[in-house]
Chains A and B, each alone.
Chain A
Amino acid sequence: MKAASLLRWESMLAAVLIAAFITFSSLSPYFLSVDTLSDATFNFTERAIVALPLALLIIAGEIDISVAAIIALASVAMGLASAQGVGTAGLVGIGLGTGLLAGCINGALVTIGRVPSIVATIGTMTLFRGAAYAVLGDRVLKDYPDSFATFGQGYLVGPISIELALFVLFAILFGVFLHRTRWGRSIFAVGANPVASRFSGIAVNHYRFALFALTGLFSGLAAVLLTSRLGSTRPSIAQGWELEIISMVILGGVSVWGGKGSILGVVLAALVFGLTTFGLGLMNIPGIVLSIFTGLLLILVVAVPALVNRR
C-alpha cells in the first residue's frame, strides 16, 4: 500500500542518516561538536529550501531544472540594485520578486505555451543563466550593505542559524500543506492523473502555474540567503545546484512520474545530503568526488525499487 511503502522509504533514509552520523563521528574528531554541526547546516539549507516547492512540482507531474539559473538571476538583480544604493529590505524584495517573475515565466510557458516542462526549463535555464553572464560578464558584484549579511550568516538563537530556522519553518508548512490540506491532495491527483483531475473539477493548469511561481519564489529566497552568506555575486553562482536539488527530491522518495512522495522524505534526504557533503569535506575529499557519490545515490534510489519489483 502507498503509505506503507513510503514509510519504509523514510525509515531507510533515517537509518542511512544515523549510519552516516556514526561513521563521520568516528572518522573525524571534529565532527561531534555543536558548532561544527551548526556549520554543517549551512551546507544544505539553501538547496533544501528550494527542494521543498520543487518536490511539490514534481509530485504534480512537472519538473524545473532552471532553479539554479533563477538563483543566479536573482542574485545578479540584487547585486545590481545594491550597487545603485538599494537598502537591505529592497534587496530582499528584488531577490524574491525576480525569482517569482522567473517562476511565472516558466509557468506561462508550460500552461499557456503548452511546452513540456523539461523542454521549457532547459530553455529558461539557458536564458536566465545566459542573462546573468551577459549582464555581468566576468565581473563580481560585492557591494552589499552590512545588514544584508544577517540572512545568510546570522543566527536566530544559539547555534541555530536563521537559514536553518527558515528551512525548518518551511518544511513544517509545506508538510502540513501537502499532506493535510485539500490543495495538497489536489496536487497528488494532478500528478497521478491530470486528465481525471480535470474531469473531477480541479483547475489543473492553475495548480501548475502556481507551483512554478512558488518554485521561482523560493529560488529567489535561496538567492537572498546564498548571496548574503557569500557576500558577493558571480554569474556562475549556484552552478550545478539544480542537479543536487533534484537529487534531494528524488532521494526523498518523490516519484519522477508524479503522484507520489512526502515532505518528510525530502527533509531526511536533505539531511543525509548535507551531512555527507559536510563530512566528506571535513575529510578533505574534493567536491567532485562527492558528485560521483551523488550520481550513484541517485541511480540507486530509482534502481533498487525497480529491482525489487522485477519479481
Chain B
Amino acid sequence: MEHSLLTLTDIRKSFGGVRALERASLELPRGAVTALIGENGAGKSTLVKILSGIHQPDGGEILFDGDAVRIPNPQAARALGIGVVHQECLAFDNLSVAENLFINSQPMQAGLVHWRDLRSRATAVLRDLDADFDADLPAGRLSIAQKHVMQIARALTHESRVLIFDEPTASLSQRECAELFRIVRKLRDAGCALLFISHKFDEVFELADRFAVFRDGVSVRAGRLSDVTSDELISLMVGRPVSQLFPKLEVQPGAELLRVEKLGRAGEFEDVSFALRAGEIVGLYGLVGAGRTELAQVLFGINAASSGVFTLAADAAGIALVPEDRQGQGAVLPFSVAANIALPNLTALAPRGWCSPSRESELASQWIDRLGIKAHGPGQTVHQLSGGNQQKVVIAKWLARKPGVLILDEPTKGIDVGAKAAVHAVTSEFARAGGAVLMISSDLPEILGMSDRVLVMRRGRLRGQFMRAQATSEVLLRAASDA
C-alpha cells in the first residue's frame, strides 16, 4: 500500500461542552480515493474544517508527508496543498468566475493584482476541467452544479495534493455526477490523496478505493472497500444491525383527495397532471432542477400557478408542506419546540386571539412522545436539537394541523439513519390513517421502499408514472435523466 500523504491520529475537538471529535484517526494514501462515512453528528464536518484550517484540534497529531504539521488558518492549508470543496456553495456571486478562483490568492505584480495572469490561469484550469462556462462570467449567473465545478477549479488552482470533497453530489444531475467522478479519477491517477464524504453508498462503492467509518466522533474502522459490504458499513455507522429501514405498511387506497390538472408555473414546470388518493404514498422522483420543489410550493400555496388547476376534495382538510430547507424554511430556530409546533396552528390554538402557553406546551408534549423527539422538553430551543430531531419538529407542526394531504420535500436529507426510520414510520402511519402523501426524494432506495406509485419529473414536465411493482432504479433513472 502507498505511503500515506496525510495521516491524522487521535484528533480531539470540543465546542463548549460538546465533544465533536473524541479519537479520530484517518489515513489518506496517495493515488487513492478514501470515502469518509458516518451519520450526521459523527464528526465528519468538524474534521474537514480542521483540515481546512478553520478550526484547531484540541489534541492529536497531523502528519503531512511524514512531517508533523499545524494548520492554523485557511492559508496554511492552501500552502500545504490541501484543497477543499465544501458542501455549501461558497461562491462570490458579485465577482467573476476568474476572480472567484483566486480569492485571497491573486497573482500579483509590483504589489498590484495581475489581472491578465489571473484570467489566463483561470481559463486554463477551466479548460482542463472541460467546464462549460467562461472565466469572465459573473459567478451569480452559474447554476449550482457549475458552481461546484468552479469550487473544484479553485481547489486545483493551488496545485493541491490532498483534495477533500464534502457531499459534492447533493445537487448534481446524473451527467454532472459522471463528470465529477471523471475528474476525481483523473486526480487520483495523478497521485493526489482524495477524501470523499458521501451519504450515498452506491456512489461510494463506485468511486472509492478505501473507506473510513466514524461514529460519535470516533474512528470505528478503516480499510479497503472491496473487503466490506454496504450492510456492514451501515452497521458500523449506526452501531447496531439495522433491519427495517423502510417500514412499508400495506394500505388500500381510498377516495381521491387531490386532483391536479395541467398545472403549470411559467419558467418552472408545466402540464403536470396526477391524482392522490387517501392512503397512498406517491413518490416524486427527479433530478435537481426538475421542478419538483416548485410544484410542491404551488400546491402548498407559496406561489401561484400560471396555468391549470388543482382541486382538493371537499372533505379533505388541507395541504401541508414539510419543506426542503429544514433550518431556513422549516423551523424558526430561536423558538422553542412548543412555539414551532404552534406556529401554523395558531388559529386553532388561539381562536379568539389569546395565546395559551399551557395548551401549546401540552400539544408539543404529545408530539414529542409520538415522534420520539429527543428534547429536554417543549420549552427547549429548536436550535439546540440535532438535524433529525429538528425535522421531527417540522413534521409534528404540520401533522398537528391534521391535513388531508402531506407533501414531504426531501424529508430525510442529511439526517441520521435512526431518525430516518422514524420519519418513514410516521409517514406510513399517516397514510394508513387515511391521508395522502406526496414524497419528493432524490434518494432512490427511499423512493423505491416507501412509494405505492412513483411519478418522475424531468425539466419541468411529468415524464412517467410507475406502479410499485414496476419501479426499479434503472427505470426511474432513465425517465429522470437526459439519457
Contact = CB atoms under 8 A, between A and B. Distances in A.
10 contacts: A181-B350, A181-B353, A185-B343, A189-B335, A192-B333, A196-B330, A196-B332, A199-B300, A199-B329, A260-B334
Interface string A199-220: 1111000000000000000000
A182 B349 contact: yes
A189 to B, nearest CB: 6
B350 A192 contact: no
Given A181-B355, A192-B334, A199 B346 contact: no
Nearest to A255: B334
Contact of B330 (A2, A180, A181, A199): A199
Given A186-B346, A189-B343, A195 B329 contact: yes
Contact of A200 (B354, B355, B381, B397): B397
Contact of A193 (B333, B349, B353, B355): B333
- List 6 A-B pairs, minimum CB-CB distance, nearest first: A182-B346, A182-B350, A200-B344, A193-B332, A200-B343, A181-B353
B379 interface: yes
Interface residues of B, number: 27
Given A182-B353, A182-B355, A189-B332, A198 B347 contact: no
Contacts of B321: 199
Given A182-B347, A195-B328, 9 more contacts: A1-B379, A180-B355, A184-B355, A185-B343, A192-B333, A197-B332, A198-B302, A200-B343, A200-B344
Interface in B309-335: 321, 323, 328-335
Given A2-B334, A180-B355, A193 B347 contact: no
A191 B217 CA distance: 35
Interface in B339-362: 339, 342-344, 346-347, 349-350, 353-355
A199 B407 CA distance: 13
A299 B334 CA distance: 24
A193 B382 CA distance: 13
Contacts of B350: 181-182, 185
Nearest to A196: B332
Contacts of A107: none
B15 to A, nearest CB: 13
A150 B350 CA distance: 40
Contacts of B323: 199
Contacts of B347: 182
B355 A196 contact: no
Interface string A45-72: 0000000000000000000000000000
Main secondary structure on chain B at its contact with chain A? mixed
A199 B302 contact: yes
Contacts, number: 65
A196 B328 CA distance: 6
B402 to A, nearest CB: 14
Given A180-B355, A185-B339, A201 B344 contact: yes
Main secondary structure on chain A at its contact with chain B? helix
Contacts of B353: 181-183
Interface of A: 1-2, 180-186, 188-189, 192-193, 195-202, 259-260
A184 B346 CA distance: 11
A48 B384 CA distance: 36
A285 to B, nearest CB: 40
Nearest to A179: B355
Given A181-B353, A182-B355, A202-B343, A196 B334 contact: no
A260 B346 CA distance: 19
A198 B346 CA distance: 14
Contacts of B342: 185
A182 B360 CA distance: 12
Nearest to A257: B334
A197 B328 CA distance: 10
A259 B328 CA distance: 15
Contacts of A193: 328, 331-334
Contacts of B330: 196, 199
A196 B334 CA distance: 12
B332 A192 contact: yes
A23 B349 CA distance: 48
Interface string B34-52: 0000000000000000000
A201 B339 CA distance: 14
A126 B217 CA distance: 57
A220 B115 CA distance: 56
A197 B343 contact: yes
A69 B153 CA distance: 52
A253 B229 CA distance: 57
A192 B334 CA distance: 7
Interface string B42-65: 000000000000000000000000
Among A180, A184, A260, max chain B CB count under 10 A is at A180
Nearest to A260: B334
Contacts of A180: 354-355
A167 B66 CA distance: 73
Contacts of A199: 300, 302, 321, 323, 329-330
Contacts of B333: 192-193
Interface in B126-183: none
A94 B353 CA distance: 31
Nearest to B322: A199
Contacts of B335: 188-189, 192
